[in-house]
Structure 1
Amino acid sequence: MRVSKLFTEFVESEKSSGIVLIICTLVSLILANSVLQESYGHLWHYQIGHHSVEHWINDGLMTIFFLLIGLELEREVYIGELSKIKNALLPIIAAAGGMLVPAGIYMIFNYGTPTQSGAGIPMATDIAFALGVLSLLGNRVPTSLKVFLTALAVIDDLGAILVIAFFYTDTLSLLNLGIALGIMGVLFVFNRMKINNWLPYVIGGIGMWYFMLNSGIHATISGVLLAFVIPFGDGGEKTISTKMQHFLHKPVAFFILPVFALANTAIVIGSDWMEGLKHENSIGIFLGLVAGKPLGIVLFCFAAVAFGLCQLPRGLKWGHILATGFMAGIGFTMSIFITLLAFKSQPDDVTISKIAIMISSVVAGIVGYVFLNKMLKNNTLEEDE
């Protein structure tokens, strides 16, 4: 199966980022529970221009992460795995199952409670961590599986972005939203006029971010919207979209996501942390990510194939899809991001959710790794025979 150079670069940077994220998370947890606890906590709450450092990271730097996700999604839609409806349908259906079933499981435990707004938490997939786990299996992993997992995770993140836009907006300023969309409209006109200078898009993107931030809709949405008005052209090396992707890969993978992890996993773990895991919120997150993700992905894919809507990619078996489902249960970055929005006025729930997310992601990652490793070994044995 042929894959583009840029897709390979995207996968390589994301899986390397997954390893860096693990290290950053461990460092952050150690510092947050050491003698440096107070100063480390103050570092992220230090005020710059009426906002904390943590706020600038979550609402500012993460917009650049979503811009990269948007650019990759745009590439997949135009010339990648999602460019043909036959190829796109399976990861789209898989992503739908991987979002709806976990959210449904979460709501079984939390409907009518103060934590029901957390239904979006187990819907998310962390691309970096998932590809990082996949990379541990080396070259034995079929290319079609890497493509399927990446497409699924990108679509999943788009779904999470839509959930953020529609369900985690408290107040809405139509004026600011209108200005943000107006700037997007101007950039779209620039696109159609084939203006291939990156500067107007960057300046316009900053303006979109500012007005989106003040509209009540989460500012990171502007990153995805900006991606779709940046000229794609033929997707060649000289297009703005491709150049921007090349430029953003390493800063996002090795600076933005690690800094996000450091800021948002500075969790002070109290002596009663295990009690929090018995809470319906924690149970919903755990079962949603560890059981709901693989269940939803496999069931929706099976139904799609059974009804003749699509077929499994060449070289993949149902066991591969199940293993992918478990790896999609690594929510981490995206799940924590949604947690901050869902429980912004409930700090105790934020802490409990973060612990549940980390435990769930580790369990899902280990199960997915062990299961896929066993499958790949069996395949090797069959080929040798």
Structure 2
Amino acid sequence: MSSHKWHWLHSPITGGVLLVIAATIALLWANIAPEHYYAVWHNTLWEVSSGFSDKVNQINLHKIANEFLMAIFFFFIGLEIKRELLDGELSSPQKAALPLFAALGGVILPAGIYYVLNAGLPTANGWGIPMATDIAFALGVLAIVGSRVPVTLKVFLSALAIGDDLMAVIVIAIFYTEQIFVNELMVGLAGLVILGIANRSGVRSPLFYYSIGLVIVWISFLASGVHATVAGVAVAFTIPSRREISMDSYLDQTKALLNDLEIDRHCEKDVLTKHAIKTLKKIKAVSFQAANPLQLKEEALHPIATLFIVPVFALGNAGVIIDSSMLNELTNPIVLGIAAGLVIGKPLGIFLFTKLLIALKWGSLPTGVTWSHVIGAGFLAGIGFTMSLFITDLAFADPQHQVIAKVAVFVASLISGIIGYIILVRTKPIDA
């Protein structure tokens, strides 16, 4: 009853709706009171130095959202990726081949289209912007389509988006790191080694992993110049994913402990006996031993990531001033590259690479999925909102370029989402 009551917290529709609301508020705020919007998000709150170098980090709300909260979001993404690799749609070469290859096509073609249209220009560094998929929006639209599409399409799109996220993290780490401070990076890597050893040694305390992950790894990566979101994914991969006891052992132990509680069955007082408290603590400890720490953290972080972190990120990054001058930018190479990359490159890349894999007989379409479904899902993957905005700030130092790119992301993502929805709604089930 309780879990059913709160099921909406894990619904992709809820996350998508909150994201739209946050982006709309940001746009209105930035256009009605631009000075106030900029002051709230960008005025320096304090300055921090790691002590290893002369680099000083200026901390403001925008940086907290982009470097701290998004690191937690990427930690959540890392947990999803690890789970999928261990026991999900990416857990074997046969399962992983189709979504990963499709994701690769959805990364290469949009990035290539953007680069061709911006080659030789100062804006060429934005090639990573149209390669990203906003999994919250994409799955939200798919949820709105509902039972008209097979469940296997949601699984395919989810695995594809996770593969997309993995590639985005690699791209951010390699191509969007301007300068690396080695001392700080080595401290961060040492923190990861400590976490890895702890995992292998059977340490399961959440406090231990969070403390080392935040105090050593995240701060060191932030100071090193390697984007802190990479630290989030790296720490996620050190989280234990093995249960301490089997389900058989758990059932035997809990049955014994429950039998031990029989003497307290008729206790109607709110204040329990010491015996009852001790037994309940034992049941809690055994339950934790039987659970998968990685899954527990992923379940706990899901509502925080989708209902708080991503909307806050949108609130701090979607605030761009839109005026009549934007009409003059319709032929800007940034706009053309992003629009063509998301609206054309994404679905085309996913379709072509999926087609190629199946032609080579290295995979097959999921049960109930047609080529129209693949094309529709490809357009949904063209909703690049959150990740595209994130990469925009990494790719461009010029505020004007950032504004143009963000507006292009808004428009292109909206077009991709609408086209994908129409295609999927109009596609008949395979058995129709």
TM-score range relative to shorter protein? over 0.9
Task: Summarize the alignment of residues 170-181 of structure 1 with structure 2, pairs less than 5 Å apart.
Answer: 170-181=178-189
Q: How many residues align?
A: 371
**Contact 2:10–2:302, Cα closer than 8 Å, also in 1:** no
The structure 2 residue matched to 1:136, chosen from 120, 132, 144, is 144
1:150 paired residue number: 158
Displacement of 1:239 after TM fit? 2.4
1:338 paired residue number: 391
1:261 paired residue number: 314
**Contact 2:132–2:387, Cα closer than 8 Å, also in 1:** yes
SS at match of 1:272: helix
Q: Which amino acid aligns with 2:394?
A: L
- Does the C-alpha gap of structure 1 residues 268 and 274 become closer, same or farther in structure 2, counting only changes over 3 Å? same
Say whether residues 1:307 and 2:304 are aligned partners. Answer: no
Displacement of 1:101 after TM fit? 0.5
1:379 paired residue number: 429
SS at match of 1:172: coil
When structure 1 is superposed on structure 2, of 210-219 and 264-273 the one drifting more is 264-273
- Does the C-alpha gap of structure 1 residues 147 and 10 become closer, same or farther in structure 2, counting only changes over 3 Å? farther
Say whether residues 1:184 and 2:192 are aligned partners. Answer: yes
1:233 paired residue number: 242
- Does the C-alpha gap of structure 1 residues 181 and 14 become closer, same or farther in structure 2, counting only changes over 3 Å? farther
| Residues in 1 aligned to 2:67 and 2:236: alpha-carbon distance in whole angstroms | 17
1:168 paired residue number: 176
Superposed CA deviations along residues 102-136 of structure 1, whole A, max 9, x for unmatched, are 01111110111100000000110000010111111
Say whether residues 1:94 and 2:102 are aligned partners. Answer: yes
Task: Summarize the alignment of residues 277-292 of structure 1 with structure 2, pairs less than 5 Å apart.
Answer: 277-292=330-345
User: Structure 1 length as normaliser, TM-score?
Assistant: 0.93
The structure 1 residue matched to 2:36, chosen from 28, 34, 39, is 39
Q: Which amino acid aligns with 1:134?
A: L
Displacement of 1:11 after TM fit? 10
Displacement of 1:363 after TM fit? 0.2
1:83 paired residue number: 91
Say whether residues 1:116 and 2:124 are aligned partners. Answer: yes
Displacement of 1:14 after TM fit? 3.6
User: Structure 2 length as normaliser, TM-score?
Assistant: 0.83
SS at match of 1:33: helix
SS at match of 2:324: coil
SS at match of 1:136: helix
Displacement of 1:10 after TM fit? 11
| Residues in 1 aligned to 2:189 and 2:79: alpha-carbon distance in whole angstroms | 18
Superposed CA deviations along residues 190-216 of structure 1, whole A, max 9, x for unmatched, are 000111111111011111000000111
Say whether residues 1:366 and 2:418 are aligned partners. Answer: yes
**Contact 1:13–1:253, Cα closer than 8 Å, also in 2:** no
**Contact 1:164–1:218, Cα closer than 8 Å, also in 2:** yes
1:18 paired residue number: 16
When structure 1 is superposed on structure 2, of 37-46 and 205-214 the one drifting more is 37-46
When structure 1 is superposed on structure 2, of 356-365 and 128-137 the one drifting more is 128-137
SS at match of 1:169: coil
**Contact 2:8–2:14, Cα closer than 8 Å, also in 1:** no
Q: Which amino acid aligns with 1:18?
A: G
Superposed CA deviations along residues 337-385 of structure 1, whole A, max 9, x for unmatched, are 0000000x2110000000000000000000000000000xx339x63xx
- Does the C-alpha gap of structure 1 residues 234 and 14 become closer, same or farther in structure 2, counting only changes over 3 Å? farther
**Contact 2:239–2:293, Cα closer than 8 Å, also in 1:** yes
- Does the C-alpha gap of structure 1 residues 86 and 10 become closer, same or farther in structure 2, counting only changes over 3 Å? farther
Say whether residues 1:54 and 2:106 are aligned partners. Answer: no
2:285 paired residue number: none
| Residues in 2 aligned to 1:11 and 1:364: alpha-carbon distance in whole angstroms | 26
2:382 paired residue number: 329
**Contact 1:91–1:152, Cα closer than 8 Å, also in 2:** yes
Structure 2: stretches of 5+ with no match in the other structure = 48-58, 248-289
1:29 paired residue number: 27
Task: Summarize the alignment of residues 197-216 of structure 1 with structure 2, pairs less than 5 Å apart.
Answer: 197-206=205-214, 207-216=216-225
Displacement of 1:13 after TM fit? 3.9
Displacement of 1:15 after TM fit? 3.6
Superposed CA deviations along residues 72-126 of structure 1, whole A, max 9, x for unmatched, are 1111111111112111100000000000000111111011110000000011000
When structure 1 is superposed on structure 2, of 58-67 and 18-27 the one drifting more is 18-27
**Contact 1:330–1:362, Cα closer than 8 Å, also in 2:** yes
Superposed CA deviations along residues 226-272 of structure 1, whole A, max 9, x for unmatched, are 01001011599722211111211111111110000011011111320
**Contact 1:103–1:123, Cα closer than 8 Å, also in 2:** yes
Say whether residues 1:246 and 2:244 are aligned partners. Answer: no
SS at match of 1:309: coil
SS at match of 2:429: helix
- Does the C-alpha gap of structure 1 residues 15 and 76 become closer, same or farther in structure 2, counting only changes over 3 Å? farther
- Does the C-alpha gap of structure 1 residues 72 and 373 become closer, same or farther in structure 2, counting only changes over 3 Å? same
Superposed CA deviations along residues 301-354 of structure 1, whole A, max 9, x for unmatched, are 1000000111111111111111111000000000010000000x2110000000
- Does the C-alpha gap of structure 1 residues 72 and 10 become closer, same or farther in structure 2, counting only changes over 3 Å? farther
**Contact 1:13–1:249, Cα closer than 8 Å, also in 2:** no
- Does the C-alpha gap of structure 1 residues 193 and 359 become closer, same or farther in structure 2, counting only changes over 3 Å? same
Say whether residues 1:223 and 2:232 are aligned partners. Answer: yes
Displacement of 1:41 after TM fit? 2.5
- Does the C-alpha gap of structure 1 residues 310 and 11 become closer, same or farther in structure 2, counting only changes over 3 Å? farther
Q: Which amino acid aligns with 1:372?
A: L
SS at match of 1:47: coil
Structure 1: stretches of 5+ with no match in the other structure = none
